[in-house]
Amino acid sequence: MDSTQQLGARYRVEGATAAQQEAVDVLARQFLLSDERLGEIIKEFRRRMEAGLASDGTMLKMVPSYVVWRPTGEETGAYFAIDLGGTNLRVMRVTLEGNGRATLLHQKFALPEEAKTRTLFDFIAQCVETFLDDHNMRPAATDPHLSFGFTFSYPIDQTSINSGTLIHWTKGLDVPGCVGRDVVRLLEDALLRLGLRVKVAAVVSDTVSTLLSAAYSDPAAQIGVIFGTGTNAAYYEDVTSLAKWKGADPASGEMVVSMEWGAFDSHELATLPFTPHDIKLDRKSLNPREQAYEKMISGMYLGEIARNIVLWLADQRLLLDGRSSTILNAMWALDTSYLSSAAVDDSPDLSAIRQVIEKTLNVPDSTLVDRRIFKIVAILVGERAARLSAVGLVATLTKRAEMLNRPITVAIDGSMYEHYPGFDRIMAETASHFIPESQFKNIRFSLARDGSGIGAGVIAMLATQHQ
Pick the binder of ligand BGC from 48, 70, 93, 171 (CB under 6 A): 171
CB 308 within 8 A of CB 280: yes
User: Per residue in 169-191, is it b (16+ CB within 10 Å) or e — as a string?
Assistant: bbbbbebeebeeebbbebbbebb
Residue 228 engages ligand BGC in binding (rule: CB under 6 A): yes
Dump the DSSP string for 253-300.
SEEEEE--GGGTTTTT--SS---HHHHHHHHHSSSTTSSHHHHHHSHH
Task: Give the one residue of 91, 226, 281, 427 binding ligand BGC; rule: CB under 6 A.
Answer: 226
Q: Which is nearer to ligand BGC, 253 or 288 (CB)?
A: 288
Q: How far is the CB of 282 from ligand BGC (least distance, A)?
A: 14
- The β-bridge partners of 76 are 97
How many amino acids of this chain bind ligand BGC (CB under 6 A)? 17
Min CB(268)–ligand BGC separation in Å: 18
Closest to 206 in 3D by CA, of 170, 178, 172, 176 = 170
Residue 92 Cβ, how far from ligand BGC at the closest point, in Å? Answer: 17
CA angle 369, 337, 29 (to 5 degrees): 50
**Hey, is 330 helix, strand or coil?**
coil
392 binds ligand BGC (CB under 6 A): no
**Residue 74 CB-density burial (10 A; 0-12 exposed, 13-18 middle, 19+ buried):** exposed
Neighbouring CB atoms inside 10 A of 163's CB total 18
Stretch binding ligand BGC (CB under 6 A), from 91-99, 151-159, 319-327, 454-462: 151-159
Q: Which of the stretches 68-76, 204-212, 364-372, 458-466 binds ligand BGC when contact is defined by CB under 6 A?
A: 204-212
- By the rule CB under 6 A, 295 interacts with ligand BGC: no
In the complex, the smallest distance separating the C-beta of residue 84 from ligand BGC, rounded to whole angstroms, is: 10
The span from the CA of 88 to the CA of 419, in Å, is 17
Please list every residue from 296 through 325 that binds ligand BGC, using CB under 6 A. Answer: none
Strand, helix or coil for residue 234: strand
Does the active-site annotation cover 171? yes
Instruction: Please give the Cα distance from 467 to 463 (Å, whole number).
Output: 6
Q: How far is the CB of 206 from ligand BGC (least distance, A)?
A: 5
CA distance linking residue 228 with residue 282, whole number of Å: 18
What does the DSSP 8-state code read for residue 40? Answer: H
Q: How many CA atoms lie within 13 A of 89 on its CB side?
A: 23
Say if residue 15 is exposed, middle or buried (CB neighbours under 10 Å; 0-12, 13-18, 19+): exposed
Alpha helices in 182-261 (DSSP H): 183-193, 206-217
Q: Residue 230 or residue 392: which is nearer to ligand BGC going by CB?
A: 230
Over the window 8 to 47, marking each residue x when it contacts ligand BGC by CB under 6 A and - when it does not, the resulting string is ----------------------------------------
Task: Between 262 and 453, name the residue whose CB sits nearer to ligand BGC.
Answer: 262
> By CB under 6 A, is residue 217 in contact with ligand BGC?
no
Is residue 266 a contact residue for ligand BGC (CB under 6 A)? no
Determine if 170 is a binding residue for ligand BGC (CB under 6 A).
yes
Is residue 423 helix, strand or coil? Answer: helix
Q: Which CB sits closer to ligand BGC, 172 or 382?
A: 172
Q: What angle do CA 172, 188, 249 make, to 5 degrees?
A: 90
| Span of 190-198, 229-237, 369-377, 389-397 interacting with ligand BGC by CB under 6 A | 229-237
Tell which one of 25, 83, 265, 294 touches ligand BGC (CB under 6 A): 294
Annotated catalytic residue, options 25, 83, 116, 171: 171
Return the half-sphere exposure (C-beta side, CA atoms, 13 A cut-off) of residue 464. Answer: 20
SS3 403: helix
Pairing of strands 221-227, 231-238: antiparallel
Interaction between residue 230 and ligand BGC (CB under 6 A): yes
Among 151, 162, 163, 205, binds ligand BGC (CB under 6 A): 205
- Nearest-approach distance from CB 175 to ligand BGC, in angstroms: 14
User: Does the footprint of ligand BGC cover residue 153 (CB under 6 A)?
Assistant: yes
Check residue 232 for interaction with ligand BGC (CB under 6 A): yes
The active-site residue out of 25, 182, 206, 282 is 206
**Residues found in the chain:** 467
Q: Report, as residue numbers or ranges, the catalytic residues.
A: 171, 206
- Applying CB under 6 A, which residues contact ligand BGC? 86, 153-155, 170-171, 205-207, 226, 228, 230-232, 260, 262, 294
